[in-house]
Amino acid sequence: MKGKFIVVEGIDGSGKTTQINQLSKWLSGTNFIPDNNHLIITREPGGTQLGQSIRSLLLDTSIEKTPDSITELLLYAADRAQHVNEIIRPSLNKGDWVISDRFCGSTIAYQGYGRKLDIKLIKDLERIATQGISPDITFLLDISVDESIKRRISRKDDRMEKEGRDFLSNVSKGFQELSEENHWKKISAMKSKDEIIFEMKSEINKLLKDR
């Protein structure tokens, strides 16, 4: 892969969108990305046209549209397989940089720790869907469950957010353990926007220097 793949993870309300926007502006002003290449901003679920349809199914709050937990897992895997093959792999092969709002870590955190599905099954599906693609660096924007709920108080919850405090606590625990196991770059999302982007810049500079 000639390009770089950056993933930003975290529970809802952690500020992923804000920091991805800041990171995008900064990277666009550097000389890290060759002149004939691009910075691609994407997300999971919903990074492709097919993925947008899958996203609407996954996050719909209508009771009659609630998928079974295994069905939910398979839909996320289908979204990721399409995302990797249509967007991520071709972009990286061309030398483009890709920033994704969520990737495999979210599935393990939400479906593994949150839904209590078999982690090995999830990782097996991950291997099929990603076909060897993995991030060069993953950032975890870390906030407490209480802070997540507080930040989302005026926002309409999607189906995942409606699962409640205990579910979100398990998801948060999953992200913490994944961060330790996989050496993600954990940043407190309680810091100011400027402090967070400073840490992200530092880590990306280190990544490029080390390689």
Which residues does the annotation place in the binding site? 10-17
| Span 53-112, pLDDT tens digits | 999 888 776 666 678 899 999 999 999 999 999 999 999 999 999 999 999 999 999 999
Please tell me the predicted confidence (pLDDT) of residue 85.
97
Please tell me the predicted confidence (pLDDT) of residue 81.
98
| Span 169-181, pLDDT tens digits | 999 999 999 999 9
Please tell me the predicted confidence (pLDDT) of residue 164.
76
What proportions of the chain, in percent to the nearest 5, are helix, strand and coil? 60, 10, 30
Kindly report whether the global pTM for this prediction surpasses the value 0.85: yes
Task: Judge whether residue 47 has pLDDT over 70.
Answer: yes
Task: Judge whether residue 166 has pLDDT over 70.
Answer: yes
3 DSSP assignment: S
Which residues does the annotation place in the binding site for ATP? 10-17
> What CATH number did the domain enclosing 109 receive?
3.40.50.300
Domain limits for position 31: 5-210
Please tell me the predicted confidence (pLDDT) of residue 158.
59
Question: Average of pLDDT values for 190-211?
Answer: 93
How many domains is the chain partitioned into structurally? 1
Question: Average of pLDDT values for 6-12?
Answer: 96
